[in-house]
Structure 1
Amino acid sequence: MCKGGAVISAAPGRGRRVVASSLPTPHAAVTRASSRSEHDNAPQAGERPGGGLFPLFADLRGRGVLVVGGGAVAQRKTAALLDAGATVRVGAPTLNPGLSAWAAEGRIEHLPGEFAPQWLDQAWLAIAATDDAAVNRAVAAAGEARRIWVNVVDDVEASGFHVPARVERGPVQIAISSGGGAPMLARHLREKLETELDESLGALAQLLNRERARIRRHYPDLGQRRRFFERVLAGPIPALLRDGRHDEAQRAFGAALIDDKPSAPPAGSVALVGAGPGDAGLMTLRGLRALNQADVILHDRLVSREVLQLARRDAELIEVGKQAGNHHTTQERIHELMLEHARAGKRVVRLKGGDPFVFGRGGEELEVLAHAGIGFEVVPGITAALACAAYAGVPLTHRDHAQSLRLVTAHLKDSAGDLDWQALAQDRQTLAVYMGVAGLDVLRDKLIEHGRAASTPFALIENGSRPEQRVVTGTLADLAERAQGHRVQSPALLIVGEVAALAQRLHWFGPAPLTEPPADAALARAA
């Protein structure tokens, strides 16, 4: 990690785009001026802010930065750059009194006159902060030609990097950017974080920075080092620093380092974690904690990208997904991977869509772990039947319609004979059928054959809880045709029962249910 510099982020779009935030050097006074810089980058009317910015911290100590402009905005930018240790050259016909004083003191170099492209020679970054849009754009064009990052104040599209809102706690910095398009939101988030992060966070970072070499000597193994940090952060040291008892905190840290026994190799373990149906907001706090502690994550194909983004960035992600007709990772291979990584001392998360113990083969995996003597835990998840029904506006039980609920899974083309169809066809109950896309014609025929009315409502929920969720409704008689006509794909959950009809009135998430056959299917029937 750099000790001083700027947050720089690259993104697709015109040329290069970056987000930058100045960092203080060890000997520079901290400035909060750059926390307003997000507003400086507000887009002009009609312009679209860029997206996909990539943040990184850059060391500007001793590196040349050009600021074009001699007014108050240029002075504010220059102050932040000086605090980051940059060597700042300010180009403008005239300077305001503050910049003039800094030039006289030798803190900055003044380049008098109108902008010339050669001012960018030897510059690592540049900021255009004049009140002349044409000059600012000329700086941006010259920087682009030289592959030099340029920020243009009040011009998002011309800027190669943005300066975000910033929260500082000693060496700890949090940079916030809306991409330049919503500066008030960035400021709101900064103000919120300012109240939630107390000043002792900086003292804690300084303590850990001082002790970094000793910690690495004591814990050469990364996994052991990470566990030690977790114990320290969960112990009394943060509270001592909050109370201003810095000497006691230092002694407590030394005692923790001496008392800890790193010689024994870390014991690996496996956590079976339910990821829910896809909406990352449905992950439990305990599941999120497991993801942040994991060294290795073995995840199903259906675990959403948004959930995987909650994992620790340096965790190893291994997809072990299976889908109908394409088991590219066998269950036996999943068992081998769990044992292999746990025996290597890793903390493994077996991340499953929905809940591990509801059609997730979690019991089989725990039996393998127990037999091998590997420690494990189970973190429940919200199973698809509960989440998909809720997001589709279908109450699984209802005093007027259903007094019981059955959860069913089957690849019906192959295993229809294994189910108790007489029980499944009973009235006043709700069926929730997992993997409910294949074999819908068999399901319909079997239920009607064993007494379920052909007029029984159904709701077929595709990608439940995700932004692309679709709900198809109808009656049991036209179940297979309706699903085929709307080209419903996995993952999908089928709900059969009177409660399914409530989706038409109670839906609240995503588009309204599809209650009619698609136009091409209707035309085919008419022909």
Structure 2
Amino acid sequence: MQLFPLFTDLRGRTALVIGAGLVADRKIHLLLSAGARVVVGAHAAHPQVQARAQAGEVELCLAPFDPAWLDEAWLVIAATNDRALNRRIADAAAARRLFCNVVDDAELSSAQVPAIVDRAPITIAISSSGSAPVIARRLRERIESLFDPALGALASLAQRKRAAIRQARPDLRTRRDFYDWLLDGPVLSALRRSRADEAEAALDQALSQNTQAPAGKVLLVGAGPGDPGLLTLRGLRALNEADVILADRLVSPEVLALARRDAQVIDVGKTLGGPHETTQARIHALMVSHARQGRCVVRLKGGDPMVFGRGGEELQHLKRHGIAYEVVPGITAALACGAYAGIPLTHRDHAQSLTLATAHRRAGAGGGTVDDRPGNGQTRVYYMGVNRLPTLREQLLADGLTPTTPCAIVENGSRVNQRVLHGTLASMEALAHAHAIQSPALVLVGAVTALGMELGWFGQSLHAQKTCRPRENMQQAIA
């Protein structure tokens, strides 16, 4: 390796920054966060640095560079825009055997400031040895997404309890197992929910009971509409915590590819016309069974688990059986399909309300559409409606919508094979049949759907040859 990685304790020690522009201010901020005594020398200072000096955060010396400034320094940072001056500073530091970082100049630097992932007291530093700082920055962005923000709080708690942990677990192997339990069990989960007292109580109880067997839990995770880039950071971390993943049919392979490699993946997807209740009962049984074996179970659902995903029923089942659970929201299909089709679900001029509904209802749960009598400014989004277009059309016409009301169907929303079909309430069934539209697909109804013909930016757009222009469709719908 070209550089020796080293973490330095600068608390109360002098760090000298030469230069007082915005670049220098960013280094000053990092040094202050590490507890350093910061001295800044420059012939002129940016107002932000002057404000720091006035607030007593730094000591500011406005004068030409003087090598004597280095006499009390432990670390030197040269942040001027004069390379000749930066070289003089680096030479003066080398003569005193001081490490010097020359910003954006690896050749003159004897020390470099890495890209940092801060989960204090845990710190992750990434360096490209000065050869490609942009790559180091991009790596930092990726690593940021993998590490739970609550890890810092966990490390601080473990540090406070270190003596108690060593006393209760004198054997190195059992102590390592206990730290694994801290990462996988209820302590981190409680800290993630901002319940520090609950986390400490769980740790103390585990120590007093002399047990480190992990308690099982279930995470209901929304996988989003299919594009892996729309998976939330918390969802990504859940996939990397999972021992078992119960995956729906609508979860894309690209999202599953992000999961922990050794996780057991079980397909629990429901097929169209299949025995849904039997499948749901199996899902309930699998969640409870694996959680009771001490495993972290991720129930992975397309979209959001609490929007037409039977998430509420699954939480009720877990609650009845005493299983710990968390919910990780996902981007629901209505939001994603609208965005990727260029259809604003609300619009100040044309749509002041939004209704999300399912075209598929449980027997005995009440028939018809939701009670949302049409107004001029309404958008309706129907989940699971593409196979019920005739019934849906008749219900909407009965509700008072006109046959010329603009509609759209978004098939495979946000995925590489997305198709958006534009038409009207009268023509949509025939168009869907002509283009062989298949599930998963979302039906959107309302004046704003016509905007997708001019604002669409992703995937393939389909519409009848004689379809009115978007503005004309809108005016017809509003009229």
Q: Which residue of 2 aligns with 1:360?
A: 309
Q: Are the equivalent residues in 1 in contact too, given 2:373–2:400 (CA < 8 A)?
A: no
1:62-81 aligned at under 5 Å gives the runs none
Q: Which residue of 1 aligns with 2:378?
A: 429
Q: Which residue of 2 aligns with 1:97?
A: none
Q: Are the equivalent residues in 1 in contact too, given 2:287–2:297 (CA < 8 A)?
A: yes
Q: Which residue of 2 aligns with 1:227?
A: 181
Cα distance between partner residues in 1 of 2:140 and 2:449 = 47
Q: Which residue of 1 aligns with 2:255?
A: 307
Moved more, 375-384 or 404-413: 404-413
CA distance change for structure 1 residues 462 and 215 in 2, over 3 Å: closer, same or farther? farther
CA distance change for structure 1 residues 416 and 506 in 2, over 3 Å: closer, same or farther? farther
Q: Which residue of 1 aligns with 2:225?
A: 277
Query: Following TM superposition, where does structure 1 have runs of at least 4 consecutive aligned residues deviating by more than 4 angstroms?
Result: 186-197, 214-220, 228-231, 258-262, 412-417
Q: Are the equivalent residues in 2 in contact too, given 1:441–1:479 (CA < 8 A)?
A: no
Q: Which residue of 2 aligns with 1:286?
A: 234
1:187-226 aligned at under 5 Å gives the runs 189=135, 193=139, 216=173, 226=180
Following superposition, the deviation at residue 311 of structure 1 comes to 1.1
Following superposition, the deviation at residue 499 of structure 1 comes to 0.5
Of 407, 416, 419, which aligns to 1:470? 419
Of 320, 326, 336, which aligns to 2:274? 326
Following superposition, the deviation at residue 338 of structure 1 comes to 0.4
Cα distance between partner residues in 2 of 1:491 and 1:196 = 30
Q: Which residue of 2 aligns with 1:379?
A: 328
Following superposition, the deviation at residue 216 of structure 1 comes to 4.7
Cα distance between partner residues in 2 of 1:322 and 1:499 = 32
Cα distance between partner residues in 2 of 1:416 and 1:476 = 26
Q: Are the equivalent residues in 2 in contact too, given 1:273–1:380 (CA < 8 A)?
A: yes
Cα distance between partner residues in 1 of 2:211 and 2:399 = 65
1:3-152 aligned at under 5 Å gives the runs none
SS at match of 2:390: helix
**Can you list the C-alpha shifts for 1:255-281, whole angstroms capped at 9, x where unaligned?**
x9x979762421111111111111111
Cα distance between partner residues in 2 of 1:194 and 1:344 = 36
Aligned-pair identity in percent equals: 55
Cα distance between partner residues in 1 of 2:405 and 2:142 = 53
Q: Which residue of 2 aligns with 1:443?
A: 392
Q: Are the equivalent residues in 2 in contact too, given 1:412–1:442 (CA < 8 A)?
A: no
Following superposition, the deviation at residue 225 of structure 1 comes to 6.9
Q: Which residue of 2 aligns with 1:503?
A: 452
Q: Are the equivalent residues in 2 in contact too, given 1:391–1:464 (CA < 8 A)?
A: yes
Q: Are the equivalent residues in 2 in contact too, given 1:421–1:446 (CA < 8 A)?
A: no
Are 2:288 and 1:339 equivalent residues in the alignment? yes
CA distance change for structure 1 residues 324 and 364 in 2, over 3 Å: closer, same or farther? same
Give the TM-score normalised by the residue count of structure 2. Answer: 0.56
Are 2:406 and 1:453 equivalent residues in the alignment? no
Q: What is the alpha-carbon root mean square deviation over aligned residues? A: 4.0
CA distance change for structure 1 residues 474 and 416 in 2, over 3 Å: closer, same or farther? farther
SS at match of 1:370: helix
SS at match of 1:430: strand
**Can you list the C-alpha shifts for 1:397-430, whole angstroms capped at 9, x where unaligned?**
1122111111111238989970246635444211
**Can you list the C-alpha shifts for 1:122-178, whole angstroms capped at 9, x where unaligned?**
xxxxxxxxxxxxxxxxxxxxxxxxxxxxxxxxxxxxxxxxxxxxxxxxxxxx9x9xx
CA distance change for structure 1 residues 260 and 349 in 2, over 3 Å: closer, same or farther? farther
Structure 2: tracts of 5 or more residues without a match:
4-125, 144-170, 189-203, 467-479
Following superposition, the deviation at residue 313 of structure 1 comes to 0.9
Q: Are the equivalent residues in 1 in contact too, given 2:382–2:442 (CA < 8 A)?
A: yes
Q: Are the equivalent residues in 1 in contact too, given 2:181–2:212 (CA < 8 A)?
A: no
Are 2:362 and 1:408 equivalent residues in the alignment? no
Q: Which residue of 2 aligns with 1:252?
A: none
Structure 1: tracts of 5 or more residues without a match:
1-29, 33-173, 177-185, 198-213, 235-255, 519-527
Following superposition, the deviation at residue 343 of structure 1 comes to 0.5
**Can you list the C-alpha shifts for 1:480-506, whole angstroms capped at 9, x where unaligned?**
000011100110001000010000111
SS at match of 2:402: coil
SS at match of 1:339: helix
Q: Are the equivalent residues in 1 in contact too, given 2:184–2:241 (CA < 8 A)?
A: no
Cα distance between partner residues in 1 of 2:314 and 2:442 = 24
Q: Which residue of 1 aligns with 2:80?
A: none
Q: Are the equivalent residues in 2 in contact too, given 1:432–1:496 (CA < 8 A)?
A: yes
Are 2:414 and 1:494 equivalent residues in the alignment? no
CA distance change for structure 1 residues 216 and 517 in 2, over 3 Å: closer, same or farther? farther
Following superposition, the deviation at residue 310 of structure 1 comes to 1.4
**2:428 is matched by which residue type in structure 1?**
L
Cα distance between partner residues in 1 of 2:423 and 2:298 = 39
**Can you list the C-alpha shifts for 1:55-113, whole angstroms capped at 9, x where unaligned?**
xxxxxxxxxxxxxxxxxxxxxxxxxxxxxxxxxxxxxxxxxxxxxxxxxxxxxxxxxxx
Following superposition, the deviation at residue 337 of structure 1 comes to 0.3
**1:454 is matched by which residue type in structure 2?**
P
Cα distance between partner residues in 1 of 2:445 and 2:138 = 46
Cα distance between partner residues in 1 of 2:449 and 2:400 = 18
Q: Are the equivalent residues in 1 in contact too, given 2:220–2:301 (CA < 8 A)?
A: yes
**Can you list the C-alpha shifts for 1:352-389, whole angstroms capped at 9, x where unaligned?**
11111110111100001111111111111111001110
Q: Which residue of 1 aligns with 2:73?
A: none
Q: Are the equivalent residues in 1 in contact too, given 2:357–2:370 (CA < 8 A)?
A: no
Q: Are the equivalent residues in 1 in contact too, given 2:361–2:367 (CA < 8 A)?
A: no
Q: Which residue of 2 aligns with 1:98?
A: none
SS at match of 2:462: coil
Q: Are the equivalent residues in 2 in contact too, given 1:277–1:465 (CA < 8 A)?
A: yes
Q: Are the equivalent residues in 1 in contact too, given 2:336–2:414 (CA < 8 A)?
A: yes
**2:450 is matched by which residue type in structure 1?**
A
